[in-house]
Amino acid sequence: MTQSSAIYKVPDVAGHTDVSYEEKARLFAEVKSDVRFSDYLYGCYECGICVAACPSARFYDFSPRRIAQAAAREDVELIYQQMQEDIWECSQCFSCLRCPRGNNPGGIITIMREVSINNGLNSAKEALGGYSRIIYKIMSTGTQVSPDMLQPDAFPDWGPETGDVSNNLDLWRRALPSDTLHTTSTGWDVSERTLVELYLIWFHTGALSMIKDVDSGLHAILQEIMEERLEDEGIEL
């Protein structure tokens, strides 16, 4: 089955003909069923104000207007194409909230990304390539950015100061006057009990299982770390 009206992208233009219309429709239904979707889309004037405000539109072949229009028209083929080719360009700055119609194209993209992750789409796997270390950090330690990430080979474009930080890391952290900031592998000192509570959140909201399809290795490592910690605390899932 396909959509037949002239307002929809035909599959050979939208590409991804190896995926059935039914599968694409199922994915869009998942986007639409998110509680936030109805808050994020009220139709579209096609005025382009969101595009004028959008940083990603300046540097990529990307447009929040196209995202809002495709969602408003329920153009299943085009939405699938966007999920595979466009959504990871967005900067999630939410400048597009300037929309006079009250739309939130950036928010629609957040939901489309979630659905891509949940369903292990290729675009999601690619987007997460090189990113798994960060997910590991945030899910397992409770802070995303740690001082020891500042390595000159990871950030050569940030100038020689990155090398100074990494060469003096332990000493410079000990020179910070706040008790919680002497850490090097986490942003601050997060208590054990707090971490246990965070792990319970990842398990009980399904956030941990979301990454199973896109990065099974990372999922297995995180699951083991968390289960072990919870077991130590005598908590059964």
For position 82 contacting ligand SF4 by CB under 6 A, the verdict is no
Token pair belonging to 72? 């408003």
Q: Which of 45, 72, 110, 119 binds other proteins (CB under 8 A)?
A: 110
For position 162 contacting ligand SF4 by CB under 6 A, the verdict is no
Number of residues that bind ligand SF4 (CB under 6 A): 27
Instruction: Give the list of residues 6+ apart from residue 198 with CB closer than 8 angstroms, or none.
Output: 142
Which range, of 22-30, 51-59, 149-157, 190-198, touches ligand SF4 by CB under 6 A?
51-59
Output 68 or 214, the one with its CB closest to ligand SF4. Answer: 68
- Location of structure tokens 């009980």: 204
Which of 145, 140, 131 lies closest to 184, judged by CA?
145
| Range 94-133, binding ligand SF4 (CB under 6 A) | 94-96, 99, 101, 103, 105-106, 109
Q: Which of 29, 204, 228, 231 binds other proteins (CB under 8 A)?
A: 204
State phi, psi for 191 to the nearest 5 degrees: -70, 155
Give dist(CA 113, CA 121) in Å, integer.
10
| Range 22-61, binding other proteins (CB under 8 A) | 34-36, 39, 53, 55-56, 58-60
Instruction: Give the list of residues 6+ apart from residue 40 with CB closer than 8 angstroms, or none.
Output: 103, 104, 105, 107, 108, 111
Output DSSP code: residue 150. -
Q: Is 211 exposed, middle or buried (0-12, 13-18, 19+ CB in 10 A)?
A: buried
Q: Which of 142, 152, 213, 221 binds other proteins (CB under 8 A)?
A: 142
Can you give the C-alpha Rg of the chain in angstroms?
Answer: 21
A 10 A CB-CB count for 234 gives 6
Terminal-residue alpha carbon distance, the chain: 43
For position 54 contacting ligand SF4 by CB under 6 A, the verdict is yes
Q: Which of 17, 33, 92, 122 binds other proteins (CB under 8 A)?
A: 92
Q: Are 46 and 73 in contact (CB under 8 A)?
A: no
CA angle 70, 84, 5 (to 5 degrees): 35
Q: Which of 14, 50, 111, 195 binds ligand SF4 (CB under 6 A)?
A: 50
Which range, of 14-22, 63-71, 76-84, 195-203, touches other proteins by CB under 8 A?
195-203
For position 49 contacting ligand SF4 by CB under 6 A, the verdict is yes
The nearest distance, CB 158 to other proteins, in angstroms, is 4
Which range, of 3-11, 18-26, 76-84, 116-124, touches other proteins by CB under 8 A?
116-124
For position 64 contacting ligand SF4 by CB under 6 A, the verdict is yes
Contact positions toward ligand SF4, by CB under 6 A?
A: 44-50, 53-56, 64-65, 68, 90-96, 99, 101, 103, 105-106, 109
